[in-house]
Amino acid sequence: MKKIAWLLLAGLCLPAVAVAGQLAAITDAMLPEQTPELAARAELGKKLFFDRRLSGDGTMNCGTCHDPEQGYSDGMEISLNYPTTKNWRNSPTVINVVFHQQFFHDGRAATLEEQALFPMMSAFEMNQNLDFLEEEIRSVPEYVAEFKSVFGDGDVTLERIAIAIADFERTLISRDAPLDRFLDGDETALSPDARQGYQLFIGKAACVTCHYGPNLMDNRFHALYVPENPDHLEDPRITATRRFVAKLHNFEAYRTLDEDLGRYLITKDRADWKAFKTPTLREIAATAPYMHNGIFATLDEVLDFFAAGGGAGTTALKPLALSPAEKSQLKAFLEEGLAGEITPLTYPKIP
């Protein structure tokens, strides 16, 4: 892969805008400058994002698991999968991915361009042969014409496919939520309950230690010891996926692996054992179920987990003495405060 081109492109991504421990409203200055070139690449990327040619059997596009109607996630505990296989992780939203510095629950992709090719070639996701895909897109005259107008020549390459999709994703923003207006000084933007919830979030409950900045995330990994779902351990197809992924990452004991080791699989650093990336909390009400394995169906369950100090064995969290009223205030903040204006979408016509 032409890593250099991707690195150059990654340079277009924005510098870190988050100050540790502080929430921030999203401003224009934090987002990519809206040039006609970017708009043209994003328009092409939108077609590719919703094109079922990207999957081996033509049943799936990126929007299947990152569905605009479901907060650009898929509403499943464990995400959808290629027929006859099972996925093993929850589909995260792709809203505001422009703020991420690593991608996937375990951070194994460094740029959106690099990320985009993973699901296409994943045996349990789109299961497409990338060389074949290049030929498929290349043989559609409308695409060749559009690649020509966007990139200067009609050469269809995987790198360009990835670049266009990544730039489309960079346009998917949720902003102007009540939290943004509140941080800009409008006290009434949050209801009294949500305002109390905000105080807890930045104070007693210390959520802001990890969920901070404009996208309420620290771009880091933490081992909260979210429980494994026993049902998933009994499903041979999920077992196959888990062990296959561990094998790809050269984890020696992959044949007996019965848990998700998260970031450890990538770094082999003991500090990353079962650590997962802090997710954004924007549009959180729309993206249940929660956590890398979708183990929690509701925000109440998530809040009970944090109130109890996380899962057995974690040192990342401490029990919080939250009263039922405080939990419901935190929930009000998450539900009302973080639901913003999402970039409007018109579905593309696929050539």
Among 44, 276, 282, 332, binds ligand HEC (CB under 6 A): 276
Among 31, 205, 238, 246, binds ligand HEC (CB under 6 A): 205
226 contacts ligand HEC (rule: CB under 6 A) = yes
215 contacts ligand HEC (rule: CB under 6 A) = no
Q: How far is Cα 88 from Cα 124, in angstroms, rounded to an integer?
A: 9
13 in a labelled binding site = no
CA dihedral of residues 112, 115, 117, 121 (deg, nearest 10): -160
- Give strand pairing partners of 174: 342
Q: How far is Cα 238 from Cα 154, in angstroms, rounded to an integer?
A: 41
Among 46, 56, 86, 91, binds ligand HEC (CB under 6 A): 91
Among 9, 26, 42, 116, binds ligand HEC (CB under 6 A): 116
> What is the smallest separation between the CB atom of 258 and ligand HEC, expressed in angstroms?
17
65 contacts ligand HEC (rule: CB under 6 A) = yes
290 contacts ligand HEC (rule: CB under 6 A) = yes
174 contacts ligand HEC (rule: CB under 6 A) = no
Q: How far is Cα 199 from Cα 234, in angstroms, rounded to an integer?
A: 42
179 contacts ligand HEC (rule: CB under 6 A) = no
Cis peptide before 32 (omega within 30 of 0): no
211 contacts ligand HEC (rule: CB under 6 A) = yes
Question: 279 or 337, CB closer to ligand HEC?
Answer: 279
210 in a labelled binding site = yes
Judge whether 50 and 350 are in contact, CB under 8 Å.
Answer: yes
Question: 192 or 319, CB closer to ligand HEC?
Answer: 319
Question: b/e for 154-172, b at 16 or more Cβ within 10 A?
Answer: eebebbbbbbbbbbbbbbb
Question: 153 or 307, CB closer to ligand HEC?
Answer: 307
**Entry field: residues in the chain:** 351
Q: How far is Cα 119 from Cα 126, in angstroms, rounded to an integer?
A: 6
64 contacts ligand HEC (rule: CB under 6 A) = yes
> What is the smallest separation between the CB atom of 2 and ligand HEC, expressed in angstroms?
18
* Options 3-11, 28-36, 76-84, 186-194: segment touching ligand HEC (CB under 6 A): 76-84
Burial degree of 37 (CB within 10 A; 0-12, 13-18, 19+): exposed
